[in-house]
Structure 1
Amino acid sequence: MSTTAQTAVDQIAALFAGEGGAEYLGEPVTQAEHMFQAAALAKREGAAPALVAAALLHDVGHFTGAVHGRDLMAGHDNRHSHQGADWLAAWFGPEVTEPVRLHVAAKRYLCAVEPTYFAKLSEASVYTLSVQGGPMSPEEVAEFEADPYSDDAVRLRRWDEAAKEPDAGDPGFEHYRELLTALVRQ
């Protein structure tokens, strides 16, 4: 394993062990449990390794940026999807970072194009949707659909919303260490 890959994965592991143990914005799981569950769902569905990594890392922006996830719940969009993707771009390519960047947009997209999707949102997700701009306009929908990573972002968003089960028993960070290490750009 290269020093770069080891350093990157160790920094990510430290986030999961630290702030990842905090409550997840009003959900019945910690932030780390939520992300482990999203990755486990992606893996169960046979997603490519990069998309499994994106599912695992999709919310790191809640604790890598200047504006914390708690600020989102206080009504200030922390743009965690962009903060997380930008932070991850130091080590990973767009196949990992862009679904992360687009996962909030995917929630807004699904609420605009699938009338039943909104009913699947948790109370916290309904609240954050309002802070993040609400359902997309037709122009935003067209722009989102044109993005080459929009399909992956929609898949990630569905796992994101389903990954809020207390005591799901999904594997911890070490289960994903090798996968992440293999994806780090040298």
Structure 2
Amino acid sequence: MKSRFKNLTSDNIVAHLSDIFGHRGAQEYLGEPVTIGQHMLQGASAANHQGHSKEVIAAALLHDIGHFTSDFGTFSMADTQDRKHEVFGAKVLAPFFPEKVTQCVRHHVSAKRYLCATREEYFSQLSDASVHSLKLQGGPMDAEEVTEFETNPHLKEIIQVRLLDDAGKVTDMQTHNFAYFENILQELVDQHCTSPN
């Protein structure tokens, strides 16, 4: 990870994430009709409206933060290799957020591969960008991968975040802003960083 992510603490991580949204959220999102910031805010706003847990709301908000923290930059439709944004995002968040949040971030790409393998109708609902990235990410899971993925204790929440991810690509959707979610994020950070190991 780049040096700008080395001096984070439980007291400044939420402000740092807010700063990332403020400075980079207006970037194009993988050829979709929304910016990357709008995409993540749509997921979080939908999660909040649907009454999901704080962990799922936070994961929906932050699931693509790795597009900003990866040493390899953001995804392009011209890519011929996966940039592993989910891995980089989870690494940045892991010291500060509960495992359920970081597992949802870490596995939201795997969840796409899982759903393509287990739900016949799912692939046809993917956007062109998601289909392209799916090819780079390994395609639908095979039977062995499905069985292993289903052992994750946070499978339900991971799938919820994946579906929120897929739904967050709507032009002109009204959403909450990042500041609306800051108290939820800080509460999760405080809970994680003060709980006994």
Corresponding residue pairs, total: 184
**Which stretch of the first structure deviates more once superposed, 89-98 or 71-80?**
71-80
Once the two structures are superposed, what CA deviation does each residue of 1:14-47 show, in whole Å capped at 9, x if it has no partner? 1111122100011010111000001111112211
Deviation at residue 4 of structure 1 after TM alignment:
4.1
Once the two structures are superposed, what CA deviation does each residue of 1:82-121 show, in whole Å capped at 9, x if it has no partner? 1101110121120210011010000000000001000110
TM-score by length of 1: 0.94
Correspondent of 1:182 among 153, 167, 187: 187
Runs of 4 or more, structure 1, over 2 Å off, are 3-6, 70-73
Q: Specify whether residues 73 and 40 from structure 1 end up closer, same or farther in structure 2 by C-alpha distance, changes over 3 A only.
A: farther
Which protein has the bigger helix share? 1
TM-score by length of 2: 0.89
Taking the aligned partners of 1:40 and 1:79, their CA distance within structure 2 comes to 25
Alignment of 1:20-99 (within 5 A): 20-70=25-75, 73-99=78-104
For the 8 Å contact 1:73–1:128, the answer to whether it is kept is: no
Unpaired runs of at least 5, structure 1:
none
Taking the aligned partners of 1:144 and 1:70, their CA distance within structure 2 comes to 25
Taking the aligned partners of 2:114 and 2:127, their CA distance within structure 1 comes to 16
2:171 alignment partner in structure 1: 166
Alignment of 1:143-158 (within 5 A): 143-158=148-163
For the 8 Å contact 1:71–1:77, the answer to whether it is kept is: no
Paired residue type of 1:110: L
Identity %: 42
Taking the aligned partners of 1:108 and 1:99, their CA distance within structure 2 comes to 14
Paired residue type of 1:65: S
